[in-house]
Amino acid sequence: MQDRQEQVSQVVVTARQMRDIEARIFAAGMPVAALMEKVAGLIALRVREVRGSRVGILVGPGHNGGDALVVARELHFRGYAVWLYSPFSKLKELTSQHLQYAQSLGIPYYHEVEQLPDCDFLIDGLFGFGLERLITEGIALAINRLNQWHKPILSIDVPSGIHTDTGEILGTAIRATHTFCLGLWKLAFLQDQALEYIGKAELIDFDIPLADVEAVLGDAPRIKRITPGTVKLTLPLPRPPVTHKYKEGHLLLICGSRRYAGGAVLTALGARASGVGMLSIAVPESLKPILVSHLPEALIIGCPETETGAIAHLQLPENTDLSFFSAIACGPGLTLDATPIIQEVISGESSLVLDADGLNILAYMGTIPTLQKRQAPTVLTPHTGEFQRLFPDIADPKHDRVKAVQEAAVQSGAVVLLKGARTAIANSQGAIWINPESTPALARGGSGDVLTGLIGGLLAQAATKKIPVEDIVATAAWWHSQAGILAAQERTELGVDAFTLTQYLMQVISNLGNI
């Protein structure tokens, strides 16, 4: 049984779902004003840990503005110098009452941003999850001006101007340095396009009953955050005391070309870190010595080469065919000349991960519909460019990455992992995992190859276990980015080349503690 904190940390909601959850709480008897008081009281406690005592408070027309006013009042009583800014003449009733009281306490109130005195930081309560329309005119100008002050801005719930679900910028938006997400993680926090505006994200848990969350989310496919808790349930640890190498999975990697030898090595090192029982690596014959020198434990299968140095066709050892392997990962460094290989592995019956040129060949051949017919699981791991080539009829993932990856998984019948700052994974039933933490240190050639090997290795080890494939892919994505984070902490964001990344993978698991 997971504890409350762990369960809450996995939940992701849309604005609509949040509103429905709150409606149940109010219907059960919790007064709206009492909830606002509780939530804003928790925010005020957090704000008091921030350095500075002169605070500008941005007040919107809805309950986000109400939250801000409760925070303003609390800071005022704690001795802070507090100034209010609100360009709105019409406020919701509860918000209006809080404004009236704040004014009665003598807290100054301005209608123009220029009137705000110099302050140490700002608190943004202009709009929360109720914002649905574009921000225009005076308010947009005010937000742009406030951003230009380059003061720390602490946003309440979401940075004002960000769409709570898609993370789109609705006209303009507050560039927060810190955002306190209230109650449950909103989807925007996991959408790449919102990240620059959110700053450091923190969840303020205000005791939403999990029964209400369950009632609203129901049985529909969920969007979930990947957490250490979910990862621990999926890792192939502890190993059974009695086992042997073939029981711990046999992964076949098919990768590399004369032009791209390094990709094969990186994929293989990612696979090695997964702990897979047996690793076989099919490469063009001329790459064999490099692979042997990097991975003496692996079985290197040298294959005949095309004139350009790509694998011409697979030449597996005697008495071996593709069904011999628990999983196959295929693609990094292949070049487009390896097209027949992709046709062969798709028609095979092993779990299959396709990446890089594997995906490009797939796009070129237009074989997405045939993936639906595969009996064994297929995992596709595109970055945005590969995604667009593979799924040209799906709306640009830049607008809503989560929706895009969901559609792709449904369309292809595969588990699709869309790479990015917040990597998203979907299965064909529409369920989604999102990796909530990563580092731009990974935006570097070759780091995706490492991920492919890691996914392949975990898939091979899970072949005989009943773990959903998307859970395994999610675990690999989390593991990969945590290694990046760890490496960046020690070596800065410039110090995480893909080889170095592979050297940090094991430490992530040992840091996880007892499993």
Ligand X SMILES: NC(=O)C1=CN([C@@H]2O[C@H](COP(=O)(O)OP(=O)(O)OC[C@H]3O[C@@H](n4cnc5c(N)ncnc54)[C@H](OP(=O)(O)O)[C@@H]3O)[C@@H](O)[C@H]2O)[C@@H](O)CC1
Ligand Y SMILES: Nc1ncnc2c1ncn2[C@@H]1O[C@H](COP(=O)(O)OP(=O)(O)O)[C@@H](O)[C@H]1O
Residue 86 in contact with ligand Y, rule: CB under 6 A = no
Residue 179 in contact with ligand Y, rule: CB under 6 A = no
What's the Cα-to-Cα distance from 262 to each of 184, 247, 259, rounded to whole Å? 42, 29, 9
91 phi, psi to nearest 5 deg: -115, 155
CA angle 498, 502, 504 (to 5 degrees): 115
The entry of K ion, ligand X, ligand Y, none near residue 67 (CB within 5 to 8 angstroms by kind) is ligand X
| Single residue of 156, 327, 368, 414 touching K ion by CB under 5 A | 156
Residue 160 in contact with K ion, rule: CB under 5 A = yes
Which residue type is seen at 224?
A: K
Of 155 and 381, the one with the shorter C-beta distance to K ion is: 155
**Crossing angle of the two packed helices 32-47 and 93-104, in degrees rounded to 10:** 50
Chain-centre distance for alpha carbon 38:
30
Of 131 and 432, the one with the shorter C-beta distance to ligand Y is: 432
The entry of ligand X, K ion, ligand Y, none near residue 60 (CB within 5 to 8 angstroms by kind) is ligand X
Rounded to a whole number of angstroms, the minimum distance from the CB of residue 89 to ligand X is 11
Residue 294 in contact with ligand Y, rule: CB under 6 A = no
Handedness of CA 336, 338, 344, 348 (dihedral sign): negative
Nearest to 250 by CA among 326, 197, 184: 326
The entry of ligand Y, K ion, ligand X, none near residue 133 (CB within 5 to 8 angstroms by kind) is ligand X
Rounded to a whole number of angstroms, the minimum distance from the CB of residue 58 to ligand X is 12
Residue 421 in contact with ligand Y, rule: CB under 6 A = yes
Taking a C-beta distance cutoff of 8 angstroms, is the pair 484, 442 a contact? yes
Residue 439 in contact with ligand Y, rule: CB under 6 A = yes
Q: Which residues contact 443 (CB under 8 A, 6 or more apart)?
A: none
The entry of ligand Y, ligand X, K ion, none near residue 160 (CB within 5 to 8 angstroms by kind) is K ion
End-to-end CA distance of the chain: 15
The entry of K ion, ligand X, ligand Y, none near residue 407 (CB within 5 to 8 angstroms by kind) is none
**Crossing angle of the two packed helices 15-27 and 32-47, in degrees rounded to 10:** 120
Of 124 and 357, the one with the shorter C-beta distance to ligand Y is: 357
Rounded to a whole number of angstroms, the minimum distance from the CB of residue 383 to ligand Y is 4
| Residues in 283-302 at the binding interface with ligand X, rule: CB under 6 A | none
Residue 167 in contact with ligand X, rule: CB under 6 A = no
Nearest to 440 by CA among 496, 357, 362, 402: 496
Of 305 and 355, the one with the shorter C-beta distance to ligand Y is: 355
| Single residue of 160, 164, 234, 423 touching ligand Y by CB under 6 A | 423
91's tokens: 């406020």
| Single residue of 61, 446, 456, 457 touching ligand Y by CB under 6 A | 446
Stretch that binds ligand X, among 77-85, 134-142, 280-288, 355-363 (CB under 6 A): 134-142
Residue 402 in contact with ligand Y, rule: CB under 6 A = no
Residue 35 in contact with ligand X, rule: CB under 6 A = yes
| Single residue of 217, 338, 359, 451 touching ligand Y by CB under 6 A | 451
Taking a C-beta distance cutoff of 8 angstroms, is the pair 383, 347 a contact? no
90 phi, psi to nearest 5 deg: -115, 120
Of 438 and 502, the one with the shorter C-beta distance to ligand Y is: 438
Of 175 and 419, the one with the shorter C-beta distance to ligand Y is: 419
Q: Report the C-alpha gap between 406 and 255 in whole angstroms.
A: 28
Three-state SS string across 184-247, please? CEEHHHHCHHHHHHHCEEEEECCCCCHHHHHHHHCCCCCEEECCHHHHHHHCCCCCCCCCCHHH
Q: Report the C-alpha gap between 393 and 262 in whole angstroms.
A: 33
Residue 60 in contact with ligand X, rule: CB under 6 A = yes
Q: What residue ranges bind ligand Y (CB under 6 A)? A: 356, 383, 419-421, 423, 438-440, 442-443, 445-449, 451, 480
Applying CB under 6 A, the residues found at the interface with ligand X are: 22, 32, 35-36, 39, 60-65, 67, 92, 127-131, 133-135, 139, 156-157, 182
**Interacting residues toward K ion by CB under 5 A:** 124, 155-156, 160
